[in-house]
């Protein structure tokens, strides 16, 4: 069904794809508008991926991950975070060093990173999607460097799934 679903989404006319939809109020209480094309191409796919993680967690099964597929999902979330998180870092930078096949290391912000946040890639997704509270995430991460900046970066992590 995957190829049919992709083909159907690609048939959405360009004029419709550029229409922006409000995503409601998000942290830090600002309204974001997302083009329908981006919703179909990126967010819908990410949402399906996240439901896969939800089902694995609910059934106690380990999620089979590959760097090519699952790592790409992480890259797409990080790409979105560059726009939303960078302004919250006060002109500084952090590194997210995410463990596991879906992981990698990404710098967000400006300049030389002042903090490195180490966590599992799946926990990163759970936090970014709002499925894991910050209090739980803080018990699962290690912050090297400026701990206040690292905590601020964790507090402001958010992506649409």
**Any domain includes 56:** no
- How far apart are alpha carbons 46 and 74 in whole angstroms? 9
Is residue 71 very low, low, confident or very high in pLDDT (cuts 50, 70, 90)? very high
Give the domain extent around 74: 66-161
Tokens of 132: 């894991």
**Any domain includes 121:** yes
pLDDT of the residue at 24: 61
What is the number of domains present in the chain?
Answer: 1
Tokens of 77: 């979330």
**What average pLDDT does this structure show over 35-58?**
91
Is residue 158 very low, low, confident or very high in pLDDT (cuts 50, 70, 90)? confident
**Any domain includes 113:** yes
- How far apart are alpha carbons 118 and 115 in whole angstroms? 10
**Any domain includes 114:** yes
- How far apart are alpha carbons 130 and 113 in whole angstroms? 25
8 A C-beta contact, residue 26 and residue 88: no
- How far apart are alpha carbons 25 and 54 in whole angstroms? 24
**Any domain includes 12:** no
For residue 16, pLDDT beyond 60:
yes
**What average pLDDT does this structure show over 9-31?**
77
**Any domain includes 25:** no
Task: Give every CB contact of residue 134 below 8 A, 6+ residues apart in sequence.
Answer: 127, 154, 155
**Any domain includes 161:** yes
pLDDT of the residue at 5: 77
pTM, two decimals, is: 0.86
For residue 65, pLDDT beyond 80:
yes
**What average pLDDT does this structure show over 134-147?**
96
pLDDT of the residue at 26: 52
Q: Kindly report the CATH number assigned to the domain that includes residue 76.
A: 3.30.1050.10
**Any domain includes 53:** no
**What average pLDDT does this structure show over 66-79?**
95
Is residue 134 very low, low, confident or very high in pLDDT (cuts 50, 70, 90)? very high
**What average pLDDT does this structure show over 145-158?**
94
């Amino acid at each position: 069904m995957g190829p049919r679903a992709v083909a159907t989404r690609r048939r959405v006319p360009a004029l419709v794809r550029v229409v922006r939809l409000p995503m409601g109020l998000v942290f830090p209480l600002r309204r974001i508008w997302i083009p329908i094309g981006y919703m179909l191409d990126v967010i819908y796919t990410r949402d399906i991926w996240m439901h896969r993680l939800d089902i694995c967690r609910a059934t106690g099964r380990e999620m089979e991950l590959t760097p090519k597929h699952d790592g790409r999902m992480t890259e797409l979330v990080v790409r979105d975070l560059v726009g939303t998180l960078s302004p919250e870092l006060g002109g500084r930078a952090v590194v997210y060093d995410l463990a596991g096949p879906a992981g990698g290391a990404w710098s967000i912000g400006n300049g030389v990173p002042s903090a490195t946040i180490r966590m599992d890639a799946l926990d990163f997704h759970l936090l970014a999607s709002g499925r894991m509270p910050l209090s739980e995430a803080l018990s699962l991460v290690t912050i090297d460097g400026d701990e206040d900046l690292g905590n601020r970066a964790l507090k402001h992590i958010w992506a649409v799934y």
